[in-house]
Structure 1
């Protein structure tokens, strides 16, 4: 169950990802709730059923029920925000910057967990979906809240490895 099941399911060509799963999620300097919330939010964002199911099962042993919901909430709110803010930025017309989003985002103000943890989860999801505007915004908020660059870096490492595991398992399923 959990990371071990994902490692067992990964093909040989993803050996680096197998090794990195243990050295990121399993052996990070982040607090367990920060690491597992990050992993869960990223698993939701990565969309692979095996990765999501296995990380969710193991994360539930490290997170409160509220934190599980907040991690899933971080992934879903960023699914919306990353598309919206990345698109506004990529269009390249500064007139869009002054237009209000008029999209409901109340979970960001009241996530049900420590605000910094939620911001870390949002940053990690933004790394997966590639929204530079959101990455900059969440990194700035995290740093202002006292998170170190090393903590931000750990969140990015977890995002990269969880996403890579999902890509490898999606490829295996498609080729089977």
Structure 2
């Protein structure tokens, strides 16, 4: 099932989400690697298997294996980092910010694709997970790579729409 087919199963109260999913799939501004990589990373970032399956079907044959694996890896490492760094940032005791994380995250340094693309994927997932410290870190790297604000905002829009689609689908499927 494609992502559009997945979205078509959403109820009428989520018509805006359906339309927004269509806009993501039809986006012509980001280029295929960024667009499909964001779809895949954000779907994996939800942890909701039906949208992961739909995203995997949507991107099949449209992303190189390296780009698809980098998108999956960004979701995986952000699942870990967003929890850890959100804790370190939100804890009243700021000592945690000075301690080494002691978490393996080698993929961030060597994602196998363009660094800016991997950072966009990571930023979108970090926004979905609400980690301000990670959002700031990824946005800073993107600015260093001269990624325009509109592209950065678009990546977060992808995260917002994919997360909303997963949330609504999960709620109606549970009934």
How many residues of Structure 1 are paired with residues of Structure 2 in the alignment? 175
Q: What TM-score does the superposition give when structure 2 sets the normalisation length?
A: 0.96
**Which stretch shows the higher mean deviation, 22-31 or 99-108?**
22-31
List, as ranges, runs of 4+ consecutive aligned residues in structure 1 with deviation greater than 4 Å.
Answer: none
Deviation per CA, 1:99-126: give whole Å up to 9, x if none. Answer: 0011111000111111110000000000
| More off after superposition, 130-139 vs 48-57 | 48-57
Q: Secondary structure at the residue paired with 1:30?
A: coil
RCO comparison, higher one (Cα < 8 Å, 6+): 1
Match of 1:123 in 2: 123
Does 163-172 or 91-100 show the bigger shift?
Answer: 91-100
Structure 1: any 5+ residue segments left out of the alignment?
none
> Is residue 3–residue 57 contact of structure 2 (8 Å, CA) maintained in 1?
no
Match of 1:12 in 2: 12
**SS at the partner of 1:111?**
coil
The match for 1:156 is 156
- Preserved contact between residue 25 and residue 158 of structure 1 (Cα < 8 Å): no
TM-score, normalising length from structure 1? 0.96
Matched residues in 2 for 1:85 and 1:130: separation?
Answer: 10
SS of equivalent residue, structure 1 residue 93? coil
The CA deviation string for residues 10-44 of structure 1, in whole angstroms up to 9 with x for no partner, is 11111000101111342242111101111111101
* Maintained 8 Å contact 1:2/1:55: yes
Query: Aligned pair 1:48/2:37, yes or no?
Result: no
Residues 28, 154 of structure 1: 8 Å contact kept: no
More displaced stretch, 120-129 vs 5-14? 5-14
Please list every run of 5 or more consecutive structure 2 residues that lacks an aligned counterpart in the other structure: none
Partners in 1 of 2:2 and 2:110 — Cα distance?
29
Provide the rounded CA distance (Å) in 2 between the counterparts of 1:129 and 1:25.
22
